[in-house]
Each structure stands twice: as C-alpha cells, then as structure tokens.
Amino acid sequence: MQLAKHSKERSDALVIFGVTGDLAFKKIFPALYAMAKRGALDVPVIGVASSKLSVEKIRERATNSIKELGDIDDPRALAHLLSLLSYVSGNYNDQDTFTALKQALGECRRPAHYLAIPPALFETMIKGLGASGLAEHARVIVEKPFGRDLASAQELNRITRAVFPEDAIFRIDHFLGKEAIMNILYFRFANSFLEPIWNRNYVSSVQLTLSESFGVESRGTFYETAGCLRDVIQNHLFQIVALLAMEPPTYRGYGAVHGQTADVFHAMRPLKPDDLVRGQYEGYREEAGVARDSDVETFCALRLFIDSWRWEGVPWYIRSGKFLAGTVGEVIVQLKPPPQRLFADSAPADGPANYLRFRLSPSSAVALAARVKRVGKEFVGDQRELYLIDEHPGEESPYERLLGDAMAGNGALFIRQDAVEAAWAVVDPVLNDHPPVVTYPRHGWGPEQSNALIAPDGRWHNPVPGKA
C-alpha cells in the first residue's frame, strides 16, 4: 500500500473514532473543552462510532462529560466546542462509514485521526483509512497498548507503517504529557550539579512506585487480558525509567531525546522469572468479568538492570499495583553513603543515605535528602529534605497537551516504533514464564515477597500519599 504523504502543517480537523466510549467521556471531551477555553481549538471535531445517535445526543454527552469535572465555567467556550462537533454513525468494517466520514470532512484535507477504540480494532481502522484515501496528508493518534507482546507490537507497527509514515504516527502514553514527568527531563539536563553524580559510581539503586488505592472497578474483563505488567509497567513506568537513565541528547530536538530513550530500552537486560513478584489483591477473583481461577496480576514488582556504561550494576526496582495504601507515584534515586564514615551516623542503619526524590502524583515535587548537624557539641545529625514544589494551578492536562501537540505535528511527547518494540523485548521472556500470583491484603504495600526482592539493596521507600 502507498505510504500517506505527510505535511508539517497543523491538522485542519480532528476525527475521534470511539467517540461514545469511556476514554472520550472521561478524558477527550474535557481536554477539548480546555483547549476551547484557551482559544486553541478552531477546527471541526468529527466523532465516529457504531451507535445510532443524533449529533444532539453526542453534544449532550460531551456536555455531561465536562459537567462531571465540575461547573462549566466558560459557557462561550462550551458553545464553541459544541458548534465544532459533528457525528458519523457506522460500522468500522463497512466502507460506507469511511465514505460518510469523507463527506463530513468536506474541504478538510489534513485530518488527525484519533483511534480511541479497543486495540483489536486498530488494524481494521488503519486499513480502512488507507483504502478510503483518508490517510493522505493525515496523522493517526493511537492509544496504548501498542500490542500485547513483541510479536503483536511488530505486526501493529508493520500495518500502521504500510499506511502512514512514522512522523505521522502519534503513539499516546498520557504519562508523558504529565507536568511531573516532563520535569524529570528538564531537571536532569537544566542543572549542572546533577550530571557528575548521575551514574553507577554514586547511585546505589533506583526505586519507582506507582500505586492506586482502588481496584479494577468495572474493568475486570479488560484487566483479565492485560494485568499490571502489560497495563502499567511496560509502558508508563518504563518511559519514566528511560527519562531517568538516558544519556544527554546530542542536540536540541525531540528526535535526539527519542534516540536516547530508545537506547535505554535496548540496554535493558531481558527479565527472568526470579526478577519478578506478581500479586493479586484479596477479592479480585470475585470482581465482575474476572475468572474464578485467574492468575492475572494486579500487583507487580520487578528488579531491572540497564547494561550501559553509566548504569552497569545498578539495580532498578519498579512496583505498581491496585488496592495499595494510597494513590501516589514517586521515584527515589538512592545515593551511596560517604566512602569514609567520619561520623558514626553518616550512613544510618535505620534509614537510607542521601537520596533524590521525585514526587510524580498526585502532586509534583523534587526533594534532596541531606544530613545536617544537630545543635550541640556532638557530631550527630538528622536527615532533612531540601524541598522544591512545582505545582501550577491551571496547567494543561496530559490529554490537552498531547492532542494539541499531535495536531501540530510535534512528536516530542510521543513514542517511536523502535522504542515500543525494544520495551516489549525486555518483558517478553516473562509474559508467560513467570511465578504464580500471591494474594495480598488490600490497602497495604503488596505481597511480602516484594520485600525479599529488594532486600539485597535495602527496603522499599513507601511514599506517604497525602504528603508531597
């Protein structure tokens, strides 16, 4: 199939496939409303789905979505968004649907097609866009997951690249649009004091925790097909690891950043079964849509190594799970203690030595833990945090930022094909060959076995959910 011709001009329409789904309701409509408030939305928005609804019903659904977030504080912006919104109903397997879409686009020639649909439909949709001529000069925005394993990711990339050039493909991982995640990249390379210690000579280990205080809720059927390793770690958390571990980009440009993050994935040592602890919260098998003998993990902890000059021998400990002690995300970069203990408490037995802490959610902060002497004659001290908070009221939401960037052709916060496949190659060996799940109680920090995993290098730093 002929590759679509691609323009660097801004998209002149946004097409949302799956406009009646949960993703559109919870994330996309609020993002479009925020864009309208900023004056950043001035192109037609065409929803496509199989539901036989009127455009008035779609506009009502968009309004209800925005109301769920709070009061509608800018009626003119809402009216503007609704005036841009139209709807095409049809079966995704029917070429008539794409014909109707082409008619709805009218004079628009550079649409951005957002596939907010189940991954099983990606192939059908992409081939339909290509066969109908709707890929010409267009962009495609693809929601994760990008495959279920290495082989399916390679196949999805092959199908997509047969229709769209790589620079017209925008693979969304909304984590990369979060202000706190972007701050990791900025903090690393905007401050010269960090680089001399950001390596195996000074860093003893790195921990990354992303926890949720709730369960799978109504997503049991989906979770049975995914699990924590696929749903969170292979994409979201690996992307954070890449930003922390990457080498300095060689030039100012997102292509340089993408090259360095892909190199991190290539340097990751493929996982083995003993690098992994899989847990399942009590009562998961009673959730709707879940098999009564399910072995799907709702918690996963793993030990990862990056075989590069900078990080050789430094263990990276990653964990995520549902029904844990709080909804919070945090990184701890643990530094080695001083080489000579001039003071008895300079490497405390009851806690970690100096560390750098990135709070990712629900608030954003950076903290450096350093020891300071207590008042008095004795050379004893306490570890205190030098604390920087980076919260900005009214900042762009991840979907608002990413939608705007994709329509503008800015690929800085999106994922490249080689990075997707390299990340899958790391977890591929343990997707089927892994230890069975162990049950853990709700509202703790997961199964005890995860503590044994990290024990050779210390213990988990359990973030305090309500305190940044």
**What residues are labeled active site?**
236
Would you call 40 helix, strand, or coil by DSSP?
coil
Instruction: Tell me the C-alpha distance between 106 and 84, whole Å.
Output: 13
Alpha-carbon torsion (171, 165, 128, 132), positive or negative: positive
Q: How far is CA 302 from CA 11, 152, 262, 370, 450, in A?
A: 41, 23, 20, 28, 8
464 φ, ψ (degrees, to nearest 5): -90, 115
Length of the chain: 468
70 φ, ψ (degrees, to nearest 5): 140, -165
Would you call 344 helix, strand, or coil by DSSP?
coil
Instruction: Tell me the C-alpha distance between 456 and 468, whole Å.
Output: 27
Instruction: Tell me the C-alpha distance between 179 and 177, whole Å.
Output: 6
Q: How far is CA 414 from CA 255, 289, 418, in A?
A: 11, 32, 12
Residue 234 is given by DSSP the state: I
3-state secondary structure 404-453: HHHHHCCCCCCECHHHHHHHHHHHHHHCCCCCCCEEECCCECCCCHHHHH
Where do we find the tokens 């833990």?
Answer: 369
Is residue 320 within 8 Å of 334, Cβ to Cβ? no
Is residue 356 within 8 Å of 333, Cβ to Cβ? yes
DSSP string, 261-277: HHHHHHHBPPP-GGGEE
* Residues whose CB falls within 8 Å of the CB of residue 271, separated by 6 or more in sequence, listed in order: 302, 304, 426, 427, 429, 430
Tell me the residue type at 228. Answer: C
